[in-house]
């Protein structure tokens, strides 16, 4: 737990945690996570009739920041819809919810809810190393819009007299194949990229991520997935943008080694996977991972 995620030839990588509720951040710290690479904020919206207030959201974000001071905390804007059902929004019945009104698409439809969400994140930024990322982005215009909304939220919070961090990095999740294909364009508009392999695999291989019967088809080792990840890493290198992986692939020791060999240097995973993945990195050289 106390040892760094360092390969035998001395390369140190970041191992961070995915959390869904603030209490998990405490466990993450105890397992030695170097920050939160994915806070799934949509859980704040679950099982309730109205969206959480800005203050309520701020309290939850601060709890995560307090659990892990001086470390990067990546707040993902709500990924509602698809496999993540919530009662807060009256969602239309869709034949293919995974391809429907989900995440940033819902934000575009309910900008006032999104803006309140962003204001809570902006207010939290005064208390730690807050970074914000947007899920399910499929076109550059959605990211450009999210940035405009973030700027608006920052202006509103400042106008209200509350402190705000000097800079709040805005990143994009690469989890729709179109975003992976156009990673170089996204890299110009995002300050970091985080590959969501759960959805990237689902959408690239056309395998419903919730299907048990098709789970064997959803392989992170599929060459199509490997090639897309290579592409995103190359775009990150070209534009000097950090690339992390926060899907379940990052928490699978063998797949994590593949990612390491492909050039990924930041990993975020469920807390329980952290010790084993860190130990795995310590057993190999970068050259072995590349091979």
| Maximal C-alpha separation, the chain | 54
> Do strands 243-245 and 170-174 pair parallel, antiparallel, or not at all (unpaired)?
unpaired
Q: How far is the C-alpha of 136 from the C-alpha of 216, rounded, in Å?
A: 23
Using CB under 5 A, which of 129, 142, 199, 252 touches Mg ion?
199
Cβ-based nearer residue to Mg ion, 199 or 266: 199
Using CB under 6 A, which of 54, 142, 175, 266 touches ligand PEP?
175
Q: Taking contact as CB under 6 A, which single stretch among the options 24-32, 181-189, 195-203, 282-290 is the one that binds ligand PEP?
A: 195-203
Q: Which of residues 23-42 bind ligand PEP (CB under 6 A)?
A: 38, 40
Told to check if 251 binds ligand PEP by CB under 6 A, we report: no
Tokens describing residue 45: 């919206």
247 binds, among Mg ion, ligand PEP, none (CB under 5 to 8 A by kind): ligand PEP
Q: Shortest CA distance to 5 belongs to which of 18, 15, 17?
A: 15
Q: How far is the C-alpha of 263 from the C-alpha of 261, rounded, in Å?
A: 5
The residue with tokens 């990229």 is 193
CB 171 to ligand PEP: min, Å: 13
Q: How far is the C-alpha of 200 from the C-alpha of 219, rounded, in Å?
A: 11
Q: Shortest CA distance to 209 belongs to which of 76, 128, 97?
A: 97
CB 156 to ligand PEP: min, Å: 27
CB 104 to ligand PEP: min, Å: 12
132, 75 Cβ separation under 8 angstroms: yes
Q: Which of residues 59-98 bind ligand PEP (CB under 6 A)?
A: 79
The residue with tokens 């905390």 is 73
If 0-12 CB within 10 Å is exposed, 13-18 middle and 19+ buried, where does residue 147 land? middle
129 binds, among Mg ion, ligand PEP, none (CB under 5 to 8 A by kind): none
Using CB under 5 A, which of 24, 142, 175, 252 touches Mg ion?
175
Tokens describing residue 267: 């990993």
124 binds, among Mg ion, ligand PEP, none (CB under 5 to 8 A by kind): none
Told to check if 129 binds ligand PEP by CB under 6 A, we report: no
Told to check if 196 binds Mg ion by CB under 5 A, we report: yes
Using CB under 6 A, which of 73, 74, 124, 246 touches ligand PEP?
246
119 binds, among ligand PEP, Mg ion, none (CB under 5 to 8 A by kind): none
Q: Which long-range contacts (CB under 8 A, 24 or more apart) does 221-224 make?
A: 221/255, 221/258
Q: How many chain residues are in contact with ligand PEP, going by CB under 6 A?
A: 10
Binding site for Mg ion (CB under 5 A): 175, 196, 199
Binding site for ligand PEP (CB under 6 A): 38, 40, 79, 175, 196-199, 246-247
């Amino acid at each position: 737990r106390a040892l760094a995620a360092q390969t035998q030839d001395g390369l140190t990588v970041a191992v961070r945690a995915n959390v869904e509720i603030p209490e998990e951040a405490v466990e993450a710290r105890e397992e030695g996570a170097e920050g939160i690479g994915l806070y799934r904020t949509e859980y704040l919206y679950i099982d309730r009739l109205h969206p959480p207030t800005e203050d309520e959201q701020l309290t939850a974000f601060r709890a995560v920041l307090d659990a892990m001071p001086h470390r990067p905390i990546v707040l993902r804007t709500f990924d509602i819809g698809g496999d993540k059902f919530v009662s807060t929004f009256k969602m239309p019945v869709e034949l293919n919810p995974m391809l429907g009104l989900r995440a940033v698409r819902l934000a575009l439809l309910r900008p006032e809810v999104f803006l309140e969400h962003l204001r809570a994140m902006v207010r939290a930024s005064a208390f730690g190393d807050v970074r914000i990322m947007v899920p399910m982005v499929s076109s550059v215009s959605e990211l450009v819009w999210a940035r405009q909304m973030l700027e608006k939220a920052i202006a509103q919070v400042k106008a209200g007299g509350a402190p705000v961090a000097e800079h709040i990095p805005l990143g994009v999740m690469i989890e729709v194949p179109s975003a992976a294909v156009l990673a170089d364009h996204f890299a110009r508009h995002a300050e970091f990229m985080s590959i969501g392999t759960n959805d990237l695999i689902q959408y690239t291989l056309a395998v419903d991520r919730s299907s048990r019967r098709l789970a064997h088809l959803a392989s992170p080792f599929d060459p199509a997935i490997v090639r897309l990840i290579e592409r995103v890493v190359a775009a990150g290198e070209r534009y000097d943008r950090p690339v992390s992986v926060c899907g379940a692939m990052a928490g699978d020791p063998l797949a994590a080694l593949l990612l390491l060999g492909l050039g990924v240097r930041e990993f975020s995973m469920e807390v329980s996977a952290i010790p084993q993945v860190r130990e795995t990195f310590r057993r190999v050289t970068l050259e072995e991972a590349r091979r």
